Amino acid sequence: MKKAAIIIYWICVIAAGAFLRFDDLGKRPFHADEATGARITAKRMEPGGATFDPKHFHGPLLADLAEPICKLRGENHWPEMTKTTLRILPAIAGTLLVCLPLLWRRRFGDPAMLLSAALLATSPLLVYYSRMFIHEILLALLGLLAVMVLTRNPRWGAAGFLTGLMFATKESFAISIIAWTAAGFWIALENRQSLNKETLTLAWSKYRMPVAVSLLTAAVTAILLYTDFLRHPQGAIDAVRTFFVYETVGGHEKSASYYVQLLAFPKKSGGIWWFETPVLLLALAAYASTFTRKEDAIRSRVVIRFLAYSAAAHFLIYSIISYKTPWLACLPWAHVCLLAGFAITGWWHTGTTARVILTIIAMACATTQFKQSRMATGRYASDVRNPYAYVPTQRDVETLEPWLRKLGDITPGGTVEPIAVVGADYWPLPWYLRTFEKTGCWPELPDNLAFMPIVFSSTNTSEKVMLALEKTHTLLPRGLRAEVPLLMFVRNDIWNRWMEAGEK
């Protein structure tokens, strides 16, 4: 009966995590970063493929894994792609992230790992970005799995393979390497009294070959993926160059306290309280348990402290860097969720009061996080009042393609093409225009702009475009992203036909 109950608990937790990630995947408007990732994926399916750009975007793994999913669902070209299909990959990665504590259940027990899995399953941050076609949740999955491999007996090449995959996912994997190294050194410093020549010699003889093989495996894995399995050798050089030439987009600079405010401090917005404070409290309780003399806490002390120091190092580095977005916190927060489960291991047997407090906090986590996740991915999925919806796409843009089709029906020739997009920072607009074959994007005004049936302009060229089209086109302001307007110009003859059709 006990085993059956445990199995049921695991099934419920994993099912809840999967439900939160897969339910109605295509509902939320496409984010700008999702649209650029989709375009890269589409190019990789074209003859010649797409090569890695060291100045923009990230590693090739996301597109490499999304490509077979698209082909399996019959979406082989840019116009055929759908939001649901592309988001299947991060949803799978997010669900697998929930399953990772299963790997430690025999080592640390079902109660602790069940709690960790429940926190990973319901975290609003992790749920929200498990439903977005970007690199972060894939990096979180690979990173947390790498930690679990690193804190067990070494496996030949396993840690290196995962590290290579992290490198091929996103260049910020280097921050994780630094954080893990710092955590390891700090633990060594704490145990410096037990370190002597004999123990160091034993460690060297035991780990030198696994470390060497892992480093080699990481390098080979990353090279194969960045070069598209040696078809584009320049990719190996560009993978290193990206650390020196990568260009970040402005407007994302935030204070050092940004992640603390996002995850630790409760905030009310849109009539709902947003917070993940109970998870942090459990994580602190787990760390505090390593200073007790309880046998369970002593057995898991090194792992608990490694997770705690790794998470702290991650957040410290990301807090120092001025460039900040919510999704950068996915991997370090996954560390915190895994760590929080150990609160049960350390304090469950200390007394009735501790058990009551832990139970209350755990229940608060499960209920509040599930509710927040549903709100974050439902009603507030593309709303600025949702702290996890970073620069969301406005829902208005979802009606653009159907309306242009209707406009084309009353236009001679049956189409409003060619369509011009002028300026910069116009994503995800190309995603919503992907079914129109004759669509062009220009950083500045082309010579034949006045003849274009439909013209879109971003804010940096709006004045020039309005001046150039004031006699030939009708201006229709539309929404694009939060606080990012989009100007749409319809040629007067087409607009007059539309108005006449409406009057009839």
pLDDT (average), residues 289-307: 79
pLDDT (average), residues 117-143: 96
For 462, other C-beta atoms within 10 Å of its C-beta total: 17
Can you give 80-111 as a three-state secondary structure string?
A: HCCHHHHHHHHHHHHHHHHHHHHHHHHHHCHH
Q: What is the mean pLDDT of the chain?
A: 89
Q: Which range of residues forms the domain containing residue 479?
A: 395-503
pLDDT tens, 166-182? 999 999 999 999 999 99
Instruction: Check whether residue 229 and residue 369 sit in a common domain.
Output: yes
Instruction: Check whether residue 166 and residue 256 sit in a common domain.
Output: yes
Sign for the CA dihedral angle at 330, 332, 338, 340 comes to negative
pLDDT (average), residues 332-346: 92
Instruction: Check whether residue 176 and residue 299 sit in a common domain.
Output: yes
- CA gap 61, 270 in Å, rounded: 36
Tokens encoding 112: 């602790």
The pLDDT of residue 57: 83
The pLDDT of residue 153: 65
pLDDT (average), residues 258-278: 91
Instruction: Check whether residue 292 and residue 402 sit in a common domain.
Output: no
- CA gap 63, 43 in Å, rounded: 9
Q: What percent of the chain has pLDDT over 70?
A: 96
Instruction: Check whether residue 130 and residue 220 sit in a common domain.
Output: yes
Inside any domain, residue 388: no
Domain-ending residue, one of 342, 377, 412: 377
Inside any domain, residue 364: yes
For 338, other C-beta atoms within 10 Å of its C-beta total: 29
Inside any domain, residue 387: no
Can you give 34-70 as a three-state secondary structure string?
A: HHHHHHHHHHHCCCCCCCCCCCCCCCCHHHHHHHHHH
The pLDDT of residue 194: 73
Instruction: Check whether residue 324 and residue 471 sit in a common domain.
Output: no
Instruction: Check whether residue 305 and residue 423 sit in a common domain.
Output: no
The pLDDT of residue 482: 78
Helix and strand counts by DSSP (H, E) for the chain? 23, 7
156 band by pLDDT with thresholds 50, 70 and 90:
low
Instruction: Check whether residue 340 and residue 485 sit in a common domain.
Output: no
Inside any domain, residue 386: no
Contact 119, 50 (CB under 8 A): no
Contact 168, 236 (CB under 8 A): no
The pLDDT of residue 350: 66
pLDDT (average), residues 358-371: 86
Say yes or no to pLDDT of 504 above 60. Answer: no
Q: Which residues, in sequence order, are bridge partners of residue 273?
A: 268
Q: What dihedral do alpha carbons 156, 157, 158, 163 form, nearest 10°?
A: 150
Q: How far is CA 13 from CA 9, 47, 117, 137, 361, in A?
A: 6, 43, 7, 19, 17
Least confident of 43-57, 190-204, 219-233, 322-336: 190-204
First to last CA, the chain: 72
pLDDT (average), residues 112-139: 96
Phi, then psi, of 69 in degrees rounded to 5: -65, -45
pTM above 0.85, yes or no: yes
Give the helix/strand (H/E) hosting 225.
helix 197-226
Domain-ending residue, one of 377, 412, 446: 377
Instruction: Check whether residue 264 and residue 313 sit in a common domain.
Output: yes
Inside any domain, residue 385: no
Which amino acid, residue 5?
Answer: A
- CA gap 159, 163 in Å, rounded: 6
Instruction: Check whether residue 243 and residue 360 sit in a common domain.
Output: yes
Instruction: Check whether residue 400 and residue 371 sit in a common domain.
Output: no
Say yes or no to pLDDT of 197 above 60. Answer: yes
pLDDT tens, 424-481? 889 999 999 999 999 999 989 988 899 999 999 988 888 999 999 999 999 998 888 8
Total domains in the chain come to 2
The pLDDT of residue 364: 83
The pLDDT of residue 447: 86
Domain-ending residue, one of 332, 350, 377: 377
pLDDT (average), residues 233-260: 87
Inside any domain, residue 382: no
The pLDDT of residue 352: 74
Least confident of 249-258, 345-354, 401-410: 345-354
Least confident of 28-37, 125-134, 356-365: 356-365
The pLDDT of residue 126: 97
Instruction: Check whether residue 300 and residue 410 sit in a common domain.
Output: no
pLDDT tens, 60-109? 999 999 999 999 999 999 999 999 999 999 999 999 999 999 999 988 88
Q: How far is CA 389 from CA 19, 151, 308, 373, 379, in A?
A: 19, 34, 27, 12, 12
For 174, other C-beta atoms within 10 Å of its C-beta total: 13
Inside any domain, residue 97: yes
Place of tokens 């090279």: 223
The pLDDT of residue 186: 92
Give the DSSP letter of residue 253.
B
pLDDT tens, 92-104? 999 999 999 999 9
Place of tokens 């760390």: 287
Inside any domain, residue 254: yes
